[in-house]
Amino acid sequence: MMTSLHSFLFIALPYLTMGVFLVGTFYRYKVQSFKVSSLSSQFLENEKLFWGSTAFHVGMMAVLCLHLIAFLFPRTLLAWNSYPIRLILLEVTGFVFALSFLAGLILLFVRRIYVPRIRVVTQWTDLLIEVLLLFQITLGCVIAVLYRWGSSWFASDLSPYLWSLVRLNPDLQTIIAMPEIVQAHVVGAFLILLVFPFTRLIHSLVAPLHYLWRPYQQVIWLWDRKRVRDTRKKWSEHLPKNT
Amino acid sequence: MDIRSQISMVFHLDKCIGCHTCSIACKNIWTDRKGAEYMWWNNVETKPGTGYPTKWEDQDIYKGGWKPAKNGAIKLRGAGKRQLLNIFSNPNLPTIDDYYEPFTYKYLDLIESPEGEVQPTARPVSLITGKPIDIKMGPNWDDDLSGTPDFARQDSNLKALSPAQSQAMFQLEKMALYYLPRICNHCLNPACVASCPSGAIYKRGEDGIVLINQDVCRAWRMCVGACPYKKSYYNWNTGKSEKCILCYPRVEAGLAPACMHSCVGRIRYLGVVLYDAEKILQTASGEEQNLVDTHLDIIVDPNSPEIIRAAKSNGIADSTLRAAQNSPAYKFVKQWRLALPLHPEFRTLPMLFYVPPLLPVMASVAAKDNDPKSLNPIAKIWDDTRVYDTSMDKVFGTIDEARFPLKYLASLFSAGDEAQVKIRLKKLMAVRIYRRHLTVGDIQANQATQALDEVGLTAKDADAIYYLTSLAQFDDRFVIPASHREQALEMLEFTGDVKGCTGFGTKEHPGRGP
Ligand code: SF4
Ligand code: SF4
């Protein structure tokens, strides 16, 4: 049975989320660029951060990748899962990374509460996002245990729903049929994306991958003096020359 | 040839009185903010000592700077593209405790405490947590060799000495010290720029000032560990790194940076040098034993017609060229070869040079140790038998028998090459001998000429060195070409528009983001 709550959670909320995410991110990046930062607190506390942050980030990246694969290439994933051994391998790997994700987050959360120096640099958005993530990962882990072989049913049942959203033709059939705990996990994901631009999560969008391609040294010229000093041209003609 | 101009600095260490006025001038203008309290873009250290942050020179700890790699190349010691994997937790990052926990005192308690049996006190509180703290460390707690066992004896440069030599340095009657004021060196091959994953740090083409674009910095903190001089600081409040900006708004207007303007000892000189940018990589990857010479070779002669032509075709303005020709930095560094870079072995090609200190070296004790102390009948004080040896029996004798091992100075200023330090100390000495001949007159003319000849200086050089060291006026010490006014204005105006053009790159109110 489709209720109005369903249509709110699975139609209105995702579109609202996407809209807020795009506009919010653009605004943060363009207008508030100074305030876009990973806000690292390693400088104030190092040891707990090492364990917490590493476990958290590595686990998070792996889990996120697996979810993305299931969303983007459901058929490939199903084909891979057609051999039980591969399926089990994938599920176990995913679960281990999820646990690392969870353990890292708990450690970071505890650190945030108990280290006085870190409490000083804690904002309510940090707590908000950490609680949301905690809720989301815990749900994810419970689902992985209760409803076995999530990589397969994600690809076969959840992906079509998500793709129907992308195609602007929402089809709630599969999602409504899912257990409530899975539905909560999906809603949790939307909520996280909704607040994403206004929390420290935004730093993941400015991850410095371009560093790998750029030359080490950077010299920036405000003026191409040769052109500025050329009296035959308009004096104001100038281009920043970046080498 | 790719001639570029660079604002370069010279600090004359014999003149530094360790007053920290420079640090305060800088602090009051730039780092008097939340998150920046612990930063001293300009700091003054006592040498021997561990400095600020503790043991910054020890690259086994912080892995800063460049190191030679295979087939003659160089690579960043603790940062770089491969080290991007450390981004979640940078193992080479100094933490606040390596600097010191910033503090203040509850002064109001002195006034507002209720009347009682005991005097109220102003308790120290942390500027981070606001809680009372037990102060363990400050930015200059090793001042004047205080706490010698904890600080001076831990100096990383003592590694270069034999145990006996370093033991000898700390005998009470031999103990010596000098001050080492430090700011960002605005290097030609900056490790901070190379290590920044965001590409926020850059060198300005026009004047070589190294800046961090505050809009692009994302707190990846790589520069903090990568700068071997620890002159890039992490602002724990805004989540942005900051560093000395060489007071660029002042320099653009032709004014001296605040630390230099306020320097009480007048030890600081600032001027333009021209260098050949094509040679940067080659110079930075040179053999360690030649590093000082190759480093100085990259700076070119602003009077040579060929260089002038190349500079002009590169768009360097006439005013800048004129400043380069009158540059006190060029005179100290190249013309007289009196100044040395700090730790050239870090291979960032620093553009701040130091005239090494002669005083602690020649301060050998007069051989009157056997005399009993005598009470001066007039002054009613005990005559100190331990005085500076100012005798001139042996020209340069005191340098050879220095009580401050030359090896120690060489470890700081010439990658261990004692000859480089020695010739410079001898030059300083020769100028003194020459001046003593002129003013006191107890040294014969031939002795003075002989001293100058031996170090390859002429009487004219000696006069000029004497003038620039002792008498120089403001405009002699700071020769700064102003940006052309109309361009200077637009430089400020364009700061926010063009990604990383000049300045901080931000027009926003600098606050902590969510
Ligand atoms: S001294 Fe200054 S320019 Fe050189 S590496 Fe350090 S921060 Fe960069
Ligand atoms: S103001 Fe000048 S003399 Fe005083 S400590 Fe600084 S550099 Fe030395």
Interface of B with A in 90-149 (CB under 8 A): 90-91, 93, 95-96, 128-131
Chain B residue whose CA is closest to A211: B197
- SS3 category, B353: strand
Closest CA to B83 of A129, A231, A157, A211: A211
Query: Does pLDDT of A228 surpass 90?
Result: no
- SS3 category, A144: helix
Q: Given this model, what pLDDT does residue A241 score?
A: 44
Query: Does pLDDT of B391 surpass 60?
Result: no
**Where is average pLDDT lowest: A5-14, A176-185, A199-208, B380-389?**
B380-389
Ligand 2 test: best mutation among B22, B52, B342, most atoms within 8 Å of CB? B22
Ligand 2 test: best mutation among B9, B20, B180, B183, most atoms within 8 Å of CB? B20
Which of B194, B220, B240 is nearest residue A208 as measured by Cβ atoms?
Answer: B220
Contact of B81 with chain A, judged by CB distance below 8 Å, is answered with yes
Q: Given this model, what pLDDT does residue B496 score?
A: 43
Beta bridge partners of B204: A220
Task: Flag whether the ipTM exceeds 0.85.
Answer: yes
| Residue ranges lining ligand 1, Cβ < 6 Å | B 184-187, 190-192, 210, 227, 229, 231-232, 243, 348
Closest CA to A188 of A143, A228, A222: A143
Q: How far apart are CA B509 and CA A149, in angstroms?
A: 50
Q: Given this model, what pLDDT does residue A242 score?
A: 42
Give B138-182 pLDDT, tens digit per residue: 999 889 988 888 888 889 898 888 888 888 888 776 778 899 999
**With an 8 Å Cβ cutoff, are B239 and A37 in contact?**
yes
Max CA separation in chain A (angstroms): 77
B195 to B45, B77, B82, B244: CA distances (angstroms): 26, 10, 11, 17
**Run of H or E including B202:** strand B201-204
- SS3 category, B142: coil
Q: Which class is B3-100+137-352+479-487 in CATH?
A: alpha beta
Contact of B217 with chain A, judged by CB distance below 8 Å, is answered with yes
Q: What is the mean pLDDT of chain A?
A: 89
Give B344-368 pLDDT, tens digit per residue: 999 999 999 999 998 776 655 554 5
Ligand 2 test: best mutation among B12, B17, B24, B40, most atoms within 8 Å of CB? B17
Closest CA to B208 of B246, B250, B236: B246
Give B227-261 pLDDT, tens digit per residue: 999 999 999 999 999 999 999 888 888 899 999 99
CA B43 / ligand 1 centre spacing (Å): 14
- CA B250 to chain CA centroid, Å, is 20
What's the whole-number mean pLDDT along residues B48-70?
Answer: 93
What's the whole-number mean pLDDT along residues B457-485?
Answer: 90
Query: Does pLDDT of B489 surpass 80?
Result: no
Q: How far apart are CA B480 and CA B6, in angstroms?
A: 11
- Pairs of CB atoms within 8 A across A/B: 173
**HSE (side-chain half, CA atoms, 13 Å) at A222:** 25
A107 to B40, B306, B318: CA distances (angstroms): 33, 64, 61
Where does the pLDDT of residue A239 fall: very low under 50, low under 70, confident under 90, or very high at 90 and above? very low
Query: Does pLDDT of A243 surpass 50?
Result: no
Q: How far apart are CA B166 and CA B160, in angstroms?
A: 9
Q: Given this model, what pLDDT does residue B317 score?
A: 84
- Which ligand approaches the C-alpha of residue B227 most closely? 1
Q: What is the CA radius of gyration of chain B?
A: 24
Which of B215, B224, B502 is nearest residue A33 as measured by Cβ atoms?
Answer: B215
Q: How far apart are CA B139 and CA B287, in angstroms?
A: 35
Whether B144 is in the pocket of ligand 2, judged by its Cβ within 6 Å, is no
Query: Does pLDDT of B384 surpass 60?
Result: no
A 10 A CB-CB count for A145 gives 9
Q: Given this model, what pLDDT does residue B273 score?
A: 96
* DSSP letter (8 states) at residue B84: G
Burial of A34 (0-12, 13-18, 19+ CB in 10 A): buried
Contact of A25 with chain B, judged by CB distance below 8 Å, is answered with no
Whether B267 is in the pocket of ligand 2, judged by its Cβ within 6 Å, is yes
Give B115-142 pLDDT, tens digit per residue: 889 999 999 999 999 999 999 889 998 8
Contact of A241 with chain B, judged by CB distance below 8 Å, is answered with yes
Query: Does pLDDT of B57 surpass 90?
Result: yes
What's the whole-number mean pLDDT along residues B8-18?
Answer: 95
Query: Does pLDDT of A225 surpass 70?
Result: no
Whether B26 is in the pocket of ligand 2, judged by its Cβ within 6 Å, is no
CA B16 / ligand 2 centre spacing (Å): 5
What's the whole-number mean pLDDT along residues B470-499?
Answer: 69
Give B415-430 pLDDT, tens digit per residue: 999 999 999 999 998 9
Contact of A214 with chain B, judged by CB distance below 8 Å, is answered with yes
In degrees rounded to 5, what are phi and psi of residue B236? -70, -15
Q: Given this model, what pLDDT does residue B225 score?
A: 95
**With an 8 Å Cβ cutoff, are A123 and B512 in contact?**
yes
* A128 to chain B, closest Cα gap in Å: 11
Whether B251 contacts B458, CB under 8 Å: no
Whether B409 contacts B356, CB under 8 Å: yes
Cis preceding-peptide flag for B53 (omega within 30 of 0): yes
Q: Which class is A4-210 in CATH?
A: mainly alpha
Atom of ligand 1 nearest to the CA of B191: 5
Contact of A49 with chain B, judged by CB distance below 8 Å, is answered with yes
Whether A70 contacts A87, CB under 8 Å: no
- Would you list the DSSP string of B413-443? HSTT-HHHHHHHHHHHHHHHHHHHHHHT--S
For testing contact with chain B, the best of A33, A118, A210 (most B CBs within 10 A):
A33
Interface of B with A in 218-277 (CB under 8 A): 218-221, 224, 234, 236-240
A 10 A CB-CB count for A173 gives 11
Question: Any idea of the CA torsion for B86, B92, B93, B98, to the nearest 10 degrees?
Answer: 160
Cis preceding-peptide flag for A160 (omega within 30 of 0): no
Q: Given this model, what pLDDT does residue B485 score?
A: 54
The CATH 3.30.70.20 domain(s) of chain B lie at 3-100+137-352+479-487
Where does the pLDDT of residue B495 fall: very low under 50, low under 70, confident under 90, or very high at 90 and above? very low
Query: Does pLDDT of B396 surpass 90?
Result: no
Closest CA to A170 of A8, A1, A41: A8
Q: How far apart are CA B35 and CA B237, in angstroms?
A: 5
Sequence-separated contacts (24+) of B128-134 with Cβ below 8 Å: B128/A44, B128/A117, B128/A120, B128/B96, B128/B101, B128/B102, B128/B236, B129/A116, B129/A117, B129/A119, B129/A120, B130/A120, B131/A116, B133/B101, B133/B103
Whether B261 contacts B42, CB under 8 Å: no
Query: Does pLDDT of B502 surpass 60?
Result: no
Query: Does pLDDT of A120 surpass 80?
Result: yes
Q: Given this model, what pLDDT does residue B142 score?
A: 87
H-helix segments, chain A = 4-7, 13-30, 47-72, 74-80, 84-114, 116-120, 124-146, 150-153, 159-166, 173-177, 180-195, 225-228
Chain A partners of B488 at a C-beta cutoff of 8 Å? none
**Where is average pLDDT lowest: B171-180, B302-311, B497-506?**
B497-506
Query: Does pLDDT of B376 surpass 80?
Result: no
CA B44 / ligand 2 centre spacing (Å): 7
Domains of chain A, by residue range, sit at: 4-210
Decide which of B285 and A238 is more confident: B285
Whether B217 is in the pocket of ligand 2, judged by its Cβ within 6 Å, is no
- SS3 category, B153: helix
For testing contact with chain A, the best of B76, B85, B89 (most A CBs within 10 A):
B89
Q: How far apart are CA B116 and CA B227, in angstroms?
A: 52
Closest CA to B209 of B249, B182, B264: B249
Max CA separation in chain B (angstroms): 80
- Residue identified by tokens 């027009």 is B507
